[in-house]
Structure formats: C-alpha cells, structure tokens
C-alpha cells in the first residue's frame, strides 16, 4: 500500500512539473480545445478576444453598417424644388407701367428662380416618395435625382404642413424601394443611420443612436412626436431617411437644433408610422382627416386647482372657446377642465390636441370635463380640422 502511494505521489509530481514547463514555454497549448471555447463563451463583450487581422489582399470581416446602408441608400433621392421669383404687386398697375414702362417686367424676367435642396425616400414601386413639406412648399417645379443617375420631374400628390410631410410621385420603372421598419420597438440607444444629401455634396450616410423618443412641444410642427438622434443631420438632409441597423425606414429627417446652421448632434425625425399614415390619407383623399372642436387651452396649474377648489389634479384647462365651434355648441365653457376625450385620459395640451385630432370628423364624441365641483360628460359633434393658413 505504501509503495502504491509512493508511485502516485511521484506521478503527480512529474505531471505538475510537465504542466509548469508547458505553461512557461508554450502557454498557447493550454488555451486550445473545449476548455478555451467554454472560457470565451462566458467572457463579457468588452473582454472577448479580438479577431486577428486578415492577411494583405484578403477580405476582412463585415464591420459597421455597410449592409444597412447598401440596402437603404438606393431608395434615398435628392430633391430640387424651384420657386418662381416673387411678382411685383404693382406690375399690373397702369400708372406704374406708365412711369416705368416695361422695365419692371424685364427686371422680373431677369430674376433667377429660387432653388431649394432636400432629400426624399422612395417607399413604393408605384413611384411614391416621402419628403418634408418645407422642402417643396410653394415650388413650381420639383426635380428628383436617383443614386443611379436617373432624373425625373415629380408630381406633388399632397402636403400636410401640420406634420411637415409631403408626398411626391415620379414616373420611372424599376425603382429601388425602402422597407418600413417597426417604430414601436425602437428604443433609446438603438443604432440608426441618417441618409440624405447635405449641402448638395452628394448622398451621405451618417451614424448615431436614438437619443430620445416622443419629443414634442418644440415649436417645429403642430403635431410633434419626434425621434431624436445624434446622427449628423445638416441642411439638405431634410426629407431623407432615418433607418435602423437593418436598413429599414424608421423616420423622415426634418429638423436640427443648431446655433450655427450645422449639426450639433441634436436632430429630429418624423416617425415612419406617422409619415405612412399621412401618405396613405393624402393619396386616398388628398388631405388628412383630423377632428377639431375649436378650443384654446392652457396647462392646469396647482394655483388654479386651489383657487377654484377642484377635486381633480390632472387635466387640460379650457381658456377660450370659438363662437359657433363644436365645443361651444356642446356647452363647453372657458374655465372647464377636460379630463377625457372619447374615454382617453388627457393630462397635457399635446395629449388633448392629439386625442381630438384622432376623432373622426362629422361624428359625435363624448368629452369629459370638470366644472367647479361637477363632473360633466358633454356630447360634441366633431368637425374637420381647418387647414392652416399659408404665411
């Protein structure tokens, strides 16, 4: 028995000596096999081994967002909108023409048309494009250029200034089309690409992340629900695509926060779901159907609640009611606090605006209000929201 233990001890000593020598002279031998694979599987990403560089002339591993860019970029176009020069309002005045003759008319003809540059996104094989309303507003001629060099004159299908969305159509075949992404699953921190034609230098792809969702009350549009991103967006990117890591459309780039005119890392995009709804309405009806009741609102403050001893703490204060508007006809008065619109709770002015806009025009809806110590439910005949007046 003693001899057996002696042999075992000697064998262990020799094995440890061999292991020490191998670990000192050939440590890579110990890093091969299943044990190494199991070790790597449990390493955090920051500690995972770095892939070795390929030999010269050999293709390397796919990196970055090249696949997403190749998939989305062909569907992003450059938009050139030309506007005729402003006409002199006195040009048709006989006395003006008597004193100045045809000089005013000749000067008018010599003036160059105003040209606006932007971007657009092809979303249909039928030739429908999405862009911004401010890119094509007031344009007399709209030209679209594809990445393959083809050019076409675009027809303005319709615009929605309140969301800053416009729909164009071109008559070309074999058009590259972008796929709509699912904006509902988009999260802060997700990687995104902004594709457009900044400063008319040519198509450009910039990368960033989603910085915030649901940005509103920025004073850019009437209806705001912006995706905020730090992907560089500059003048000329307006109307271009914001895409996810797979190259799917998640937004239409529309505005930047800047003090210099260039990108400061804060850009805003209209969610693709909103742009798609507006596009479908413009194609079908030529306008977007939104509800309207004709009220002016303010945020409900603790001072107002205390002064009028209201039994509620949330809602939207009605500060004014338009004469003969649906709200006035239903009995809504200044000082009322709206708490629900068609069963949907509202706490802010933006929520009230969106809830009313979602109502079907020319149909009744129940609006819950708090008037002093009384809770009322008023039946309102909703009207079509008037189109905004052009400045």
Tell me which CATH code domain 75-169 carries. 2.40.10.10
230: annotated active-site residue: no
Q: Which residue out of 119, 238, 263, 368 is catalytically annotated?
A: 238
Q: Where exactly does CATH 2.30.42.10 map onto the chain?
A: 291-384
Q: Name 188's Cβ contacts closer than 8 Å, sequence gap at least 6.
A: 209, 210, 211, 212, 213
Distances (CA, A) of 107 to 85, 111, 114, 366: 11, 6, 15, 59
Q: Which residue out of 119, 160, 164, 211 is catalytically annotated?
A: 164
164: annotated active-site residue: yes
Torsion sign, CA atoms 49, 50, 56, 59 = positive
Q: Where exactly does CATH 2.40.10.10 map onto the chain?
A: 75-169, 183-285
How do the pLDDT tens digits run along the chain, 391 residues long?
A: 667 767 777 777 777 777 766 666 666 665 554 444 334 433 444 434 444 445 544 544 455 789 999 999 999 999 999 876 655 555 556 655 555 555 555 555 555 566 778 999 999 999 999 999 999 998 889 999 999 999 999 999 999 999 999 999 999 999 999 999 999 999 999 999 999 999 888 899 999 999 999 888 788 888 888 999 999 888 889 999 999 999 999 999 998 876 666 667 799 999 999 999 999 999 999 989 999 999 999 989 899 988 888 899 999 999 999 999 999 999 999 999 999 999 999 999 988 999 999 999 999 999 999 998 899 999 999 999 987 765 4
Torsion sign, CA atoms 287, 290, 294, 296 = negative
Report the CATH superfamily, name and number, of domain 291-384: PDZ domain (2.30.42.10)
Tell me which CATH code domain 183-285 carries. 2.40.10.10
CA 178 to CA 74: how far, in whole Å?
Answer: 8
């Amino acid at each position: 028995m003693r001899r057996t233990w002696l042999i075992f001890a000697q064998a262990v000593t020799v094995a440890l000596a061999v292991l020490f020598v191998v670990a000192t002279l050939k440590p890579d031998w110990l890093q091969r096999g299943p044990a190494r694979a199991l070790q790597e599987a449990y390493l955090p990403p920051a500690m995972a081994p770095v892939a070795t560089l390929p030999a010269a002339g050999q293709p390397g591993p796919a990196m970055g967002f090249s696949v997403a860019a190749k998939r989305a970029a062909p569907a992003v176009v450059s938009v050139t909108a030309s506007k005729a020069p402003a006409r002199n309002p006195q040009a048709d005045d006989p006395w003006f023409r008597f004193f100045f003759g045809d000089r005013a008319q000749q000067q008018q003809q010599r003036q160059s048309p105003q040209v606006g540059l932007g971007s657009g996104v092809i979303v249909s094989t039928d030739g429908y494009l999405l862009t911004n309303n401010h890119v094509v507003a007031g344009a007399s001629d709209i030209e679209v250029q594809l990445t393959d060099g083809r050019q076409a004159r675009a027809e303005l299908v319709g615009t929605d200034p309140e969301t800053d969305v416009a729909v164009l159509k071109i008559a070309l075949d074999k058009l590259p089309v972008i796929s709509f992404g699912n904006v509902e699953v988009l999260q802060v921190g997700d990687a995104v690409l902004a594709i457009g034609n900044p400063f008319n230098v040519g198509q450009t792809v910039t990368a960033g992340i989603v910085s915030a969702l649901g940005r509103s009350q920025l004073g850019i549009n009437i209806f705001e629900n912006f995706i905020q991103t730090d992907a560089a967006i500059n003048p000329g990117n307006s109307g271009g695509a914001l895409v996810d890591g797979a190259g799917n459309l998640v937004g239409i780039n529309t505005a930047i926060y800047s003090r210099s005119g260039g990108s400061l890392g804060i850009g805003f995009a209209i969610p693709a779901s909103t742009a798609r709804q507006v596009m479908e309405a413009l194609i079908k009806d030529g306008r977007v159907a939104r509800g309207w009741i004709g009220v002016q609102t303010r945020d409900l403050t603790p001072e107002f609640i205390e002064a009028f001893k209201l039994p509620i703490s949330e809602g939207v204060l009605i500060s004014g009611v338009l004469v003969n508007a649906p709200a006035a006809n239903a009995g809504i008065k200044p000082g009322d606090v709206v708490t629900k619109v068609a069963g949907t709770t509202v706490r802010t002015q933006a929520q009230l605006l969106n809830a009313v806009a979602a109502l079907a025009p020319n149909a009744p809806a129940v609006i819950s209000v708090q008037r002093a110590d009384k809770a009322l439910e008023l039946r309102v005949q909703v009207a079509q929201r008037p189109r905004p007046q052009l400045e």
